[in-house]
Amino acid sequence: MSQKTIFHIDMDAFFASCMQVLRPELKNKPIVISNGLDKSIITAASYQARKYHIKAGMAIFEAKKLCPKIISVKPNMNYISYLSNQIWDYLKTNITDKIEIASIDEAYLDVTDLVLKIDAVKLARKIQAEILQKFNLTCSIGISFNKFVAKMSTGLNKPFGVSLITKNNFEIIQNLDIKKMYGIGSSTVKLLEKTNIKTIKDLANTSDEDIYYLLNKKGLTLKNAAKGLSSDYVDYLTDQYKSISKEITLLNPSYSYDEIEELILVLSKQVSNKLINNNLSAKTIEIKLRYKSPNYYDYQNKNQQTKHKQITLNNYVNDQNVIFSSALTCFYEIYDETKPVTLVGIGVSKLINNKQNWIQLSTDKDQIIDNQQVEQSLVIEDLIFDINKKFSKSIIKKAKDLKKTSR
């Protein structure tokens, strides 16, 4: 089988950049995405802000110490989602329909056929130029022989960069610090470093027995990726997800109920928008909380510091307020105010595809979902969401949602 050429396209600081496009007065200024309160958590930062070492997971008051002129901006998720859809649709129409949308700001393209006629780097530069001209946004592109290496390549030259990694120069990836490897979290990094695995190449050279002992089957998958052995299949035939999740790691563990609830609001809206973008609805809502381990040497979280709770609804939904209220219900059951929280995540599963204009979810005609109705209701949903976010509580709900939660 011939080797494929895969592009990984990553929009640069997408949430912050979209707000700079929407509000030109913010262009070239250090901005962060948050609700503006000093104790609130930053969910994204512009490259101008990152120059001051400001990043997601940091509190606003901490960012102000690094850059007093930092500007906190509330995200317009409808506009951000709109731009995301426009960019991916443009690539499907003008570059290739072999595109797999990985998230609101990332996609993989199989350009194997295209690079027979044009140099891969020239094609990447062409895509960058067209996105910049049409949407006033920059992106970085990683080029390689499979999806994992393409994604790793993207991070080598951001923002607005192009990186080409072949089997001949794959050592560039292998020489990277293990903490930069996609798919490895901070707790796994600590465990690997403790066993003297400090680079991706170290992982590749670890015996199967040793890595399986440390990380079970996941370890073998990571080792193969470190050796350059990973999937090159771009799934452009279906956009059906098995699950969707968003999470954020707090750089400073939080005891604050209000901070955590605010993050649940933000993550719920992001998950909702991803569902709507992909014409999906979900039936199961899950929340994930990770507490800081009281034992510094508990690298594997054997004391079950990560807590999960899920709820399965009677109907399929993609409404941000239903997701938020459901996640909040789960949150109440697992939250321990005596322990500092280091990570908050929201996930949905049991998904269905809503590609048809009308989908009958039950015999009740009031439970028919239609894409146009969803779009028309976004304004109302945003008002409800903004009020709930202001008061950090789900104090306003739609009548149909009250029925669901009162059963």
Write out the H or E segment, with its range, that includes residue 99: strand 99-103
Contact between 143 and 150 (Cβ < 8 Å): yes
Question: What tokens were used for 285?
Answer: 């809502």
Question: Distance between CA 212 and CA 218 in Å, rounded?
Answer: 8
Question: Distance between CA 364 and CA 348 in Å, rounded?
Answer: 24
Query: Percentage helix, strand, coil, to 5, in the chain?
Result: 45, 20, 35
Contacts of 402 (CB under 8 A, 6+ apart): none
Residue with tokens 């960019």: 87
The answer to whether the annotation marks 382 as part of a ligand binding site is: no
Question: Distance between CA 161 and CA 34 in Å, rounded?
Answer: 27
Distance from chain centroid for Cα 6: 20
Contacts of 216 (CB under 8 A, 6+ apart): none
Give the side-chain half-sphere CA count within 13 A for 393.
Answer: 3
Question: Distance between CA 84 and CA 106 in Å, rounded?
Answer: 9
Write out the H or E segment, with its range, that includes residue 84: helix 77-94
Contacts of 131 (CB under 8 A, 6+ apart): 87, 90, 137, 138, 139
Neighbour tally for 209: CB within 10 Å = 8
The β-bridge partners of 44 are 33
What residue spans of 179-312 are helical by DSSP H? Answer: 186-194, 200-204, 208-226, 257-277
The end-to-end CA distance of the chain, in Å, is: 56
Q: What are phi and psi of 175, to 5 degrees?
A: -80, -5
Amino acid type, 248: I
State yes or no: is 106 an active-site residue: yes
Q: Which of 106, 259, 262, 381 is catalytic?
A: 106
Neighbour tally for 216: CB within 10 Å = 10
SS3 label, residue 147: helix
The answer to whether the annotation marks 89 as part of a ligand binding site is: no
Contact between 256 and 233 (Cβ < 8 Å): no
Enumerate the active-site residues: 106
Annotated binding-site members for Mg(2+):
10, 105
